[in-house]
C-alpha cells in the first residue's frame, strides 16, 4: 500500500494550493496529490479556449509545480474513503494510506431540468479536455449558438465564440440584465452595450422552456413562445459542489447548498483528520456569516491555503467569502468586490456611495489611456467599506484587489481617503485623481 502523511484529492484551484501550503508549513511531511485527470485545466481559462487560446491544451496547469515542491502525483480516481483505517481505494492502483486528508473535489456544472437538455450539441462546462475539444469542434462548425445564462461564464463564452467566426450568438438570461448577480445596473448596462455592439443578441428577462430538435438540437423555445434557431447550445448557469465521494463516505453536508460542512480552519465537521476546501466545501459570507453560493478559484485558493496551514496545528481561521470578481467584455474589464449597492440595501445597510470617472493614465493623452469608472459602497452608519465596482482597462482587474483588501480590514471611507498610492504616467491614473481615494473622499462627504 502506498502511504503519505498528507493526501490531497483533487488537482485544480484548491488541490494544488492545499498541497503547496502543507509543504511550506510542514516541510518534514510527505505529500501526495491524487487526481483522476491526466492533465489539469485552469478552470477560469475554459471560455478562452474558444477564441483567444484556440485549443484546450493551451489552458493547462503544469505538473512541474508539484514536482519542484516534492509533491507526489498519482493519476487515479479515488472511489472510497475508509476513515477508520485511513485508506483510500482507487481505480487501477494500490490503496493509499494517509494521516491527514484534504478533499478538494471541486464542482460540477449545474444542469437545469429543461426538456431536451440531453440532445446532441447541448453542452455544459465540464472540466474535461476531451469533452471540451469535441465542444470546440462543434462550435467551429456552428452558425447559430445559444448560450443559456448571462453571468460571467455565459458572457465570456459569447465574447470569445464571436471572435474570428461567422456565427450568430444569443444569450438568454432570466434576470433583467446580464451580470446582474455581481454588478449594479449601471455596470450591467455598460457591459450589455459592448455585447450588443459586437452583434450578440441579448434576451434578458426570458426563460428557456425547452430545447428543440430530434436527436440533435435545432433551437430553443422560450416561455413566451418565441423560438430561437440553434445548431449548438451552451448551458452556463453555474456549478454545484462535487460531493459524491464525500457523501458516499459519510461526511456531513450542508442542507442549504449540499457542500461539505467545515469549520473556520477548513476541518470537516465529520472527521478531525479530514479537511475540505474549494467548491466542494460549504461557504459563508464575510459580511453576514450566512451560507453563500459563491464559487471562485480565488476563494478555493484562499481556503486551500488555510486548510494546508492547519493540517497538524491550527494557525489561521478563514474569514468567509468577500466575493471578488473580474471579467473582460469586448476588451473592457469589469470587476467587483464585496456587496453591490443593491445587495447592501437588500441586507439592510444604510449606504453612502462614492463614484468617479477618470483617465487611467496621466496625462489623459498618454497612449493606451482608458476611462476608468469606480463606485464604492460604504455603511453610512460607521463609514466602513462594503464593496466596490470598476470598469476600465486591464489595471481595473488589479485595482479591485486593493478594494478587497480594504474590505477585509474593514477600512472606513476616511481611512481610504488618505491612502498613499504609487503612480506612474504610463501605468496608473494621476495621484490627484486616483479613483480609490477620490471615490472614498466623496463618500466621506455623503456620510457627514
For 126-153, what is each residue's pLDDT tens digit? Answer: 999 999 999 999 999 999 999 999 999 9
Last residue of a domain, one of 251, 277, 310: 310
- Please identify, among 193, 222, 237, the residue that sits at the C-terminal boundary of a domain: 237
> Within a domain: residue 168?
yes
CB 167 within 8 A of CB 231: no
Same domain for 225 and 139:
yes
Task: Dump pLDDT digits (tens) for 331-346.
Answer: 999 999 999 999 999 9
326, part of any domain: no
The domain of 289 spans 2-107+241-310
Cell of 38: 491526466
pLDDT band, residue 28 (cuts 50/70/90): very high
In a domain, 316, yes or no: no
Are 251 and 233 in the same domain?
Answer: no
Number of H helices, E strands in the chain: 11, 24
Assigned domain for 319 exists: no
Give the angle 330-335-338 at the CA atoms, nearest 5°. Answer: 155
Q: What is the DSSP string of 28-54?
A: TS-EEEEES-SSEE-GGGGGGGGTTS-
Grid coordinates representing 391 are 470598469
Query: Which 3 state secondary structure label does DSSP give 223?
Result: coil
Percentage, residues of the chain above pLDDT 70: 100
In degrees and rounded to multiples of 5, residue 426 shows phi and psi of -90, -5
- The two beta strands, 332-338 and 385-392, are antiparallel
Which of the four pLDDT bands, split at 50, 70 and 90, describes residue 217? Answer: very high
Q: What is the pLDDT of residues 237-290, one digit of tens each?
A: 999 999 999 999 999 999 989 999 999 999 999 999 999 999 999 999 999 999
Q: What is the pTM for the complete model shown? A: 0.94
Cell of residue 266, nine digits: 477548513
208 and 267 share one domain: no
**Mean pLDDT of all residues in the chain?**
96
54 has pLDDT over 90: no
Predicted pLDDT of residue 230: 98
Here the CATH number for the domain that contains residue 77 is: 3.50.50.60
What residues contact 80, with CB distance under 8 A and at least 6 apart?
A: 88, 89, 245, 248, 249
Confirm if 277 and 18 have CB atoms less than 8 A apart.
yes
Same domain for 199 and 262: no
pLDDT recorded at residue 56: 81
Instruction: Please determine, for residue 315, whether its predicted confidence score (pLDDT) is greater than 80.
Output: yes
Residue 72 lies in a domain: yes
Q: Are residues 256 and 232 in the same domain?
A: no
pLDDT above 90: residue 55: no
**pLDDT score, position 74:** 96
Residue, of 435 and 93, whose pLDDT is higher: 435
**How many separate domains does the chain show?**
3
Does the structure show a pLDDT above 80 at 17? Answer: yes
Same domain, 42 and 91: yes
Assess if residue 418 is contained within a domain: yes
Q: Taking the chain, what is the end-to-end CA distance rounded to the nearest angstrom? A: 67
Q: Which of 320, 176, 307, 168 is nearest to 232 (CA)?
A: 168
Strand ranges in 10-158 using DSSP code E only, listed in sequence order: 31-35, 40-41, 60-61, 71-75, 78-82, 87-90, 96-103, 107-109, 122-123, 144-148
- Among 310, 341, 371, the domain boundary falls at 310
Of 106, 108, 94, nearest in space to 32 by CA: 94
Alpha helices in 270-395 (DSSP H): 297-310, 341-346
The whole-angstrom separation of Cα 28 and Cα 24 is 9
User: Is residue 315 domain-resident?
Assistant: no
pLDDT > 90? residue 448: no
Strands 87-90 and 208-213: unpaired
Q: Are residues 127 and 220 in the same domain?
A: yes
Please give the backbone phi and psi of residue 320, each rounded to the nearest 5 degrees, phi first: 100, 170
Residues 280-314 have pLDDT tens digits of 999 999 999 999 999 999 999 999 999 999 999 99
The answer to whether position 116 is within a domain reads no
What pLDDT is recorded for position 12?
92
Amino acid at each position: 500500500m502506498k502511504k503519505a502523511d498528507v493526501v490531497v484529492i483533487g488537482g485544480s484551484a484548491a488541490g494544488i494550493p492545499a498541497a503547496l501550503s502543507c509543504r511550506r508549513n510542514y516541510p518534514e511531511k510527505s505529500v501526495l496529490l491524487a487526481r483522476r485527470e491526466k492533465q489539469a485545466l485552469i478552470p477560469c481559462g475554459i471560455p478562452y479556449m474558444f477564441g483567444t487560446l484556440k485549443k484546450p491544451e493551451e489552458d493547462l496547469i503544469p505538473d512541474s509545480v508539484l514536482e519542484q515542491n516534492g509533491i507526489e502525483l498519482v493519476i487515479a480516481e479515488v472511489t472510497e474513503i475508509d476513515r477508520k483505517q485511513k485508506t483510500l481505494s482507487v481505480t487501477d492502483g494500490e490503496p493509499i494510506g494517509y494521516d491527514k486528508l484534504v478533499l478538494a473535489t471541486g464542482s460540477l456544472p449545474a444542469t437545469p431540468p429543461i426538456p431536451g437538455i440531453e440532445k446532441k450539441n447541448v453542452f455544459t462546462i465540464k472540466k474535461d479536455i476531451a469533452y471540451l475539444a469535441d465542444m470546440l469542434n462543434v462550435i467551429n462548425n456552428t452558425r447559430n449558438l445559444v448560450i443559456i445564462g448571462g453571468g460571467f461564464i455565459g458572457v465570456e463564452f459569447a465574447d470569445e465564440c464571436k471572435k474570428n467566426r461567422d456565427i450568430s450568438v444569443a444569450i438568454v438570461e432570466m434576470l433583467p440584465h446580464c451580470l446582474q448577480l455581481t454588478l449594479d445596473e449601471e455596470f450591467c448596462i455598460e457591459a450589455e452595450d459592448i455585447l450588443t455592439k459586437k452583434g450578440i443578441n441579448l434576451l434578458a428577462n426570458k426563460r428557456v422552456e425547452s430545447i428543440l430538435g430530434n436527436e440533435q438540437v435545432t433551437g430553443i423555445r422560450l416561455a413566451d413562445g418565441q423560438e430561437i434557431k440553434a445548431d449548438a447550445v451552451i448551458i452556463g448557469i453555474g456549478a454545484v459542489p462535487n460531493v459524491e465521494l464525500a457523501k458516499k463516505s459519510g461526511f456531513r453536508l450542508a442542507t442549504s447548498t449540499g457542500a461539505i460542512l467545515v469549520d473556520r480552519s477548513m476541518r470537516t465537521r465529520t472527521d478531525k483528520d479530514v479537511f475540505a476546501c474549494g467548491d466542494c466545501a460549504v461557504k459563508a459570507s464575510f459580511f453576514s456569516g450566512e451560507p453563500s453560493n459563491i464559487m471562485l478559484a480565488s476563494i478555493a485558493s484562499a481556503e486551500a491555503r488555510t486548510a494546508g496551514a492547519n493540517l497538524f496545528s491550527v494557525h489561521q481561521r478563514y474569514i468567509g467569502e468577500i466575493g471578488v470578481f473580474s471579467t473582460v467584455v469586448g476588451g473592457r474589464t469589469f470587476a467587483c468586490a464585496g456587496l453591490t449597492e443593491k445587495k447592501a440595501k437588500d441586507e439592510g445597510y444604510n449606504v453612502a456611495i462614492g463614484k468617479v470617472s477618470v483617465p487611467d493614465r496621466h496625462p489623459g493623452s498618454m497612449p493606451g489611456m482608458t476611462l476608468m469608472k469606480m463606485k464604492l459602497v460604504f455603511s453610512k452608519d460607521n463609514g466602513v467599506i462594503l464593496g466596490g465596482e470598476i470598469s476600465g482597462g486591464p489595471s481595473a482587474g488589479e485595482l479591485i484587489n486593493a478594494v478587497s483588501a480594504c474590505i477585509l480590514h474593514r477600512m472606513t471611507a476616511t481611512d481610504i481617503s488618505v491612502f498613499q498610492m504609487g503612480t506612474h504616467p504610463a501605468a496608473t491614473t494621476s495621484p490627484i485623481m486616483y479613483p480609490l481615494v477620490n471615490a472614498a473622499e466623496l463618500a466621506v462627504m455623503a456620510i457627514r
